[in-house]
Structure 1
C-alpha cells in the first residue's frame, strides 16, 4: 500500500473516530502517518516518516523492499547477511543508482567465527560510500564495525565532529545497548591506529562519540545473541 492509499484509508477511519461508551459520545482521533514515531528519527536520517523496515538475512529484506520504503520517505535496510560480497555490491549499486540521495541502510551482521567476512563487508561499504548500516547479532564490538564507524571522522568549520558513517544497532540485551551508546573501545582504536587503518585524528574524535546513533530493541531472536 502506498502512502496516498494509506492516508485515504485513515481518512475513512476518521468517520469512525466517535465512539459511544456508557451512553457518552467519545472522540478518539485517528493519527496520520506523519505522527508515527519520534520526529527526530526522521529528521536525523532525512526521512519523511519515522518508520523503518529492518533487515532480514539472505536478501529477504530485498532491494525491492528497500526501494519501496525509500521512495515513500521511510527507511529500509537491505538484508546482506549470508550473501556474497559480489551480490551485496550489486544490490548497493542498484540502490544507489535508483534512489539517488534517498536514505537506505545495509545490514552489517556480526560473524565472530569468520572475521574476514566483516572485514570484507567493511571495505565494501566504505568503498561504495554507504553511510548507514543496521548492525545486528553483535555480542561485542568488532574491529571491522569500529573501523566502519570511525573512518572519515573530522571537524567542520565550527569545530563540530562530523560522522560520515552512522550505525543503527539492533540489540536484545541491556549490556549490548550500553556498548553501543558508548564510544568505541580504546583497545580496538589503538589496534586500528597501530595498523594504520585509521588516522590519529580519527582515533581522537572516535573517543568523543557513541558507536550508534539509534537502537533497535528486539526480543530474543533465538540466535546466538
Structure 2
C-alpha cells in the first residue's frame, strides 16, 4: 500500500508541474502579444496563479462563500482563456483592442480579488449542536451502539393495594387579630356577666353590648373562648 501511494503521489506531482509550466508559458505569450513585454509578461502568469490559489484556499475553509467561487472562476477563465487563445485560435501578431484592455487591467482586478479574499471574513455558520437521541421504547443499545429489540419476557408484579384514604379533617379556624383594648373591654363584660349570673356571656349578648359587626364579635368570642 505504501509503494502504490508514493507512485500515485509522484504521478500527480509530475502532472501538476507539466500543467503549471504549460499554463505559465501560455499566459506569458498572451501577455507579451498584448503589449506587456519584458518582466511584465512574466508577472502575469504569477498573478493569475496566485489569485487561483487564494480563491481555492478560501473555498476549502468556507465552501459556501460566493465571493471565493466568483474569483476562482475569474482566475480559471483567465488561465483557460490564455491556453485556448494560444492554440492557434487567435493571431498573436494582431491582438484585438479589447484583449489588450483586459490584459492591461488584469493587475488591478487581481489585486482587488486577492485583497477581498484575504481580508474579508468568511460567513461562518455555526454547526448545529448534537442532540442526545433517546432510545425507542422496547429497544436497548449494546456496546456497538446498534439498537436491538428487547425480546426477553418481562414479569410484572401486581401493584400493592394502597390503604384507604382517611377523610380530611377540616382545619381549625384561627381567630383574627383583635386590638388589645377592645379585647380587654370584652373580657371585662364577660367577667361581669359570669360574676352576676354564673354563666358564660352569650355571643349574641356580647354582640349587642359592643355594637360591632358579627365577624369582629365572633373573633373576640374565639379569643375569649365563649360559646
Q: TM-score, normalised by structure 1?
A: 0.17
Q: From the CA coordinates, give the structure whose radius of gyration is larger.
A: 2
Structure with the higher helix share, 1 or 2: 2
Structure with the higher strand share, 1 or 2: 1
Q: TM-score, normalised by structure 2?
A: 0.17
